[in-house]
Structure 1
Amino acid sequence: MRVFVIAGEASGDKLGGALMAGLETLAPGIEWQGIGGPEMETKGLQSRFPMEELSVMGIMEVLPKYRHLKRRIAETAEAVVAMAPDALITIDSPDFCLRVARLAKQKRPDLKVIHYVAPSVWAWRPGRAQKMAQVVDHVLALLPFEPPYMEAAGMSCDFVGHPVVAEPRAGAAEAAAFREIHMIDAEQPLALCLPGSRRGEVKRLGPRFDEALMQLRDREPGLRVVLPTVRGVAGMVREMTARWPVPPIVVESAEDKRAAFAAADIALAASGTVSLELAANRVPMVIAYDASFLTWHLIWRMLRIDTVTLVNLVSETRAVPEFLGPDCKPREISGKMLEILETPSVRAEQIAAMEETMRRLGEGGASPGERAARSVLGFLEKNG
C-alpha cells in the first residue's frame, strides 16, 4: 500500500507518528511519502522538506512567505499525483493541506483524501465543513460529538479518540519528588499558571494571571505557583516572571511539566486543549482568556456555543468556570480559585466532569493511533 501523508506542525506530527505506527502494525510494508517532523520521520517518513516551513500563523507571518508557501503547495500536489497513492492523509493545517488536496484531485479525481482533525464547525464558521467536503472523503475526529457535523456535509467520519488519553503521566512518586526538589510541603497548595503557548497570549494574559494569583496568595499565604512553558516562549516567560512580586517556578522539560501537573492542586489556564491535559491529571481549574477588543468582538459574534472549554463540551456539563473577554478580571478569577480550593463539593463536581471527559475521549481503550489506523483501513476497504 502507498500512502502520502502531510503534517504541518508539531501537534500534527505527533498524530501522524501514532497513525503511522498503527498502520504499520495492521498493514506492514507501507510505502510512505510526504511531509512531517521528527515523530513521523522515526516511523520511516523522509520528509520532502522541513515541516517547520509550514508552521506559520497569522496574516503578518504568512504574507512574507506567501509565494514560497504557494510554490510548496504546487510541488507537494505534483508529488501526490506522481506517487498515485492509495490514500492522501492530511493532518490538521487545513490552509496548506486542503489546498494540496484540491490541486491533486483536479488531476486525480479518484484520489482518496482522508483528513485527520475535524474543523471546529460546532463552535464557529460552520461553512468550513461544506468547503472541506469538496476535496475530503473521510475524516478522523478527535472529539466524540464531531462525526454528525462532518457526515451532514457529505463526508464519512469516525471518532478515533483524543491523543491526550495516550500521553504519559507522572505518578504519586514523581509528584512527591517535584514538591521535595522545589521545597513545597505536602500541605502547601500548589497552583499551575498556564497563560498560553504563544507570545501574544503570554504577554496579554501573564500580568492578569499574576495579579489573580497574588490576590489568591493573600488568602492562601503558603501558595506556590508553577508555570510550565514551551521552548518558543521560555525566554520571554522567564524574563517577564522575574519581575513579578513573587516569581513562579518556571519549568520547561516534558518530565518537569508532567510532575508539576501531577503535584498541582489547582490551575489557572488560558482556554485551549490544555484543559484536557489538566483533566487527564484530574487538576481542578479555572479558564480565563482575553483578546483585543476588535478580535474578541468578532469571535463572540461568530461563536455558536456557550462555553469554550473542552471539558465542559465533552462532559456536557458546565463544571469548569470561565472568565472570558470583558470578564477576565483578576479579582473574580482569584475568588473562584479560592472557592475551588476550599469547597470539596465544587472540586468533586469538576473531577467527576473530568472523569467523564476522559472516558468519552477513549481513556482505557485502544490508543487513538490504533483507532485512527483501523478507521483508515476500514474506509479504504469499503471504498476500493
Structure 2
Amino acid sequence: MNDQSTQAGSAPQRAILFTAFEPSGDSHASSVIAAIRQQAPDIPVYAWGGPAMEQAGATIIQQTSTDGAMGAGGLSKILEHIRITRDLKTWLRSHPEVAVHVPVDSPAANFPICKATKPAGCRVVHLVAPQLWAWAPWRIGKLRRLTDLVLCLLPFEEPYFLNRNVPAKFIGHPVIAEHIKVLAQDDVTATRHPLPETAGPKIALLPGSRSGEINRHARDMAAVAQRLALTHPQTSAVFAAANEHAATRIESQIESIKSNRDGQAVDFTVTTGSLSSVLRWADLVLVCSGTATLDVACHGVPMVVMYKLNPLSWNLVGRWLLTTRHIALPNIIADRRIVPEIIPYYQSLDRITHEAAQLLDNPDLAEAQLENLTEIVKLFRDSDPGQLAAGHILDQMQRRR
C-alpha cells in the first residue's frame, strides 16, 4: 500500500478531488477512481461528478456530469459553471487535505477550477488531454501553467505535449480497454429490446449521447437508413441510446419518419443496455464523431462517421480553428483516412448515403477498413488505463509541496 495513506501525525488525511462535467468524463474517471480505491483504499476521493464515479467509490459533492446537469447551453451553462467554481472554491477552503486535483476533460469548465486548486497547493493531473493538437493550440501556455501532468488517452498526444514542455504520459483509452475486456470474456449483456433478425442489412445508429447531438443526428440517421432500404430490402436499423433519457429523445425525433415515402418500411428499434450487443449484431454503423467511433473500431464493424454543424459557425469560426487534417478519431490516430468522415455536413445526406451503400455493396472495401481498424486497436491492447492513471495520481500526491 502507498505510505501516504498511513502517514503518522495529526495532519489531515490527504485526499483527491475529481471534477467532471460530461457523461463521458464520469465514465472515464470511474475506472481510475476504482483503481485508486484498490491501490490506496484509505485515501478519500471527492468529486464533482456523476453516478459512475460514485459507484466506483467517490464521495459526490455535486452532481455535474449527467446530461442536463449543466443546463441547456449558452448563457445558462456559463452561469452554472460560474456557480460551480464559486461553490468549489468555498468547499476547498474547508478541505485543505486535498492534495491532488484531477480535472476530467471539459477544459472550458475545468480551467477556471484549476486556477483555484493550483495556487492552493494541489497537484493538478489532467485526465484526458485537452485537444490542443486539434484546435486552439495557443492555449498550450495556459495548460503548462495549470497542470503538473497530463494523462493522455491517445498515443500521439504524449510526444505532442512533451515537445511543448508539458509533462505527459500515455495511459491508453478506457473505452478500448473496457471493450477488449468484455470481448475477451464474451460478457455481453442484454439490450432493452430484442434485436431484429432479418435477411437484409443490419445498421446500427449511434447519434451521440448529448441532447444536442441527438437532435442534430437522429432524424438524419433514420433518413439515411430509409434511403438504403430503397436499394437494400429488409433493412433493419437499431438506435443504441446511452440511457433512457436519450432513448426517449431519439423516439421523439424519429416518430414522424419511421417509413419512407414509397411505403417500404424500415424496422427501427431504439434500445439501451448493451452497446456491445448492438455492435455485434450490426453489418454497418452510422456514428456521430467522437469516442463512440472507438467503440465501433473495437468491435470490427464498418462505419461511416458524421457530424452536423451550423454552416455559418463552421465557415466563420470552426474551419479556421481546426489544425488537423482529420476529425474522426480513427483517422486522427492513423494519421490518414481509413473511415469515411462526412464532417461537417449541413443538410444533404447524399454523401453519407453513398459511403454507407459502398460499404454494404463492396465487401473488399469493408474488409480493408476493418484491417485498418484492427491495427489501431492493437496500439491500446497492452495498457490498463485505470491502473496506470491511479499510479500516476498517487505519485503526484507524494510530490505535493
Q: What TM-score, normalized to structure 1? A: 0.87
Residue number in structure 2 paired with 1:154? 165
Q: How much does 1:60 deviate? A: 3.2
Structure 1 runs not aligned, ≥5 long? none
Cα deviation for residue 52 of structure 1 reads 4.8
Relative to structure 1, the CA distance from residue 376 to residue 57 in structure 2 (aligned partners, 3 Å threshold; closer, same or farther) is farther
Distance 1:174 1:23 in 2: 25
Equivalent position of 2:366 in the other structure:
347
How far is 1:375 from its partner? Answer: 2.7
Please say if 1:136 is aligned against 2:147: yes
SS in 2 for 1:347: helix
Structure 1 residue aligned with 2:7: none
Give the residue type in structure 1 aligned to 2:62.
F
- 1:243-258 correspondence to structure 2 within 5 Å: 243-244=256-257, 245=259, 246=265, 248-255=267-274, 257-258=275-276
SS in 2 for 1:115: strand
Q: In the alignment, is residue 6 of structure 1 matched against residue 21 of structure 2?
A: no
The verdict on how the C-alpha distance between 1:318 and 1:66 changes in structure 2, with shifts beyond 3 A counting, is: closer
Q: Equivalent of 2:108, from 87, 92, 95? A: 95
1:26 and 2:39 matched: yes
Verify the 8 A CA contact 2:302 2:366 in the aligned structure 1. yes
Q: Measure, in 1, the Cα distance between the counterparts of 2:305 and 2:226.
A: 17
**Contact kept in structure 2, 1:215 and 1:331, CA below 8 Å:** no
Which structure 2 residues correspond to residues 1-384 of structure 1 after superposition, within 5 A?
Answer: 1=4, 2-8=14-20, 9-52=22-65, 55-56=70-71, 58-65=73-80, 68-79=83-94, 82-85=96-99, 87-108=100-121, 111-168=122-179, 169=182, 181-185=194-198, 187-230=199-242, 231-244=244-257, 245=259, 246=265, 248-255=267-274, 257-297=275-315, 298-326=317-345, 329-360=348-379, 362-363=380-381, 365-379=382-396
Counterparts of 1:172 and 1:345 in 2: how far apart (Å)?
Answer: 29
Deviation at 1:349, TM superposition (A): 1.6
Task: Render the CA deviation track for 1:112-159: whole Å, top value 9, x for unaligned.
Answer: 211111011111111222212112111111111111232244321101
> Per the alignment, in what secondary structure is the counterpart of residue 143 of structure 1?
coil
Q: Distance in 1 between matches of 2:383 and 2:17?
A: 22
The CA distance in 2 between the partners of 1:67 and 1:218, in whole Å, is 50
C-alpha distance after superposition, 1:209-258 (max 9, x if no partner): 23322221111112111111233332221122222114553333223x32
Give the whole-Å Cα distance in 2 for the aligned partners of 1:266 and 1:318: 18
Aligned equivalent of 2:10:
none
Q: Counterparts of 1:181 and 1:48 in 2: how far apart (Å)?
A: 38
- Larger deviation: 90-99 or 45-54? 45-54
Distance in 2 between the 1:370 and 1:107 partners? Answer: 27
Distance 1:164 1:335 in 2: 29
Structure 1 residues 299 and 239, CA gap change in structure 2 (3 angstroms): same
Letter in 2 for 1:6: F
SS in 1 for 2:60: coil
Unaligned runs of 5+ residues in structure 2 are 5-13, 260-264
Look up the equivalent residue of 2:80 and give its one-letter code. K
**Alignment check: 8 A CA contact 1:119 1:129 kept:** no
Closer/same/farther in 2, CA of residues 345 and 317 from structure 1, 3 Å limit: farther
> Residue by residue, what CA displacement relative to the aligned partner does 1:314-343 show, whole Å, maximum 9, x if unpaired?
123311011223576322222221211122
1:41-62, Cα deviation, whole Å (9 max, x unpaired)? 2343222233359634732332
Q: Residues 289, 100 of structure 1: CA spacing in aligned structure 2 closer, same or farther, 3 A cutoff?
A: closer
Q: Classify 1:136/1:56 alpha carbon distance in 2 versus 1 (closer, same or farther; 3 Å).
A: farther
Residue 41 of structure 1 aligns with an amino acid whose one-letter code is E
Cα distance 1:71–1:378, how it changes in 2: closer, same or farther (>3 A)?
A: closer
Higher helix share: 1
Deviations 1:50-83 (A, max 9, x none): 3359634732332453552342242244245x22
- 1:124–1:330 CA distance, 2 compared to 1 (3 A): same
Aligned residue pair count? 375
Which letter maps to 1:62? Answer: K
Aligned Cα root-mean-square deviation (Å): 2.9
- Answer with 275-284 or 367-376: which moved more: 367-376
> In the alignment, residue 75 of structure 2 is paired with which amino acid?
M
- For residue 21 of structure 1, what is the amino acid of its counterpart? A
The 3 A distance-change label for structure 1 pair 315 and 57 is: farther
Take 1:28 and 1:261, find their aligned partners in 2: how far apart are those partners? 36
Task: State the alpha-carbon separation in 2 of the partners of residues 195 and 304 from structure 1.
Answer: 25
Matched to 2:340, the amino acid is P
Residue identity in the other structure for 2:139: R
Q: Point out the more displaced range, 320-329 or 284-293.
A: 320-329
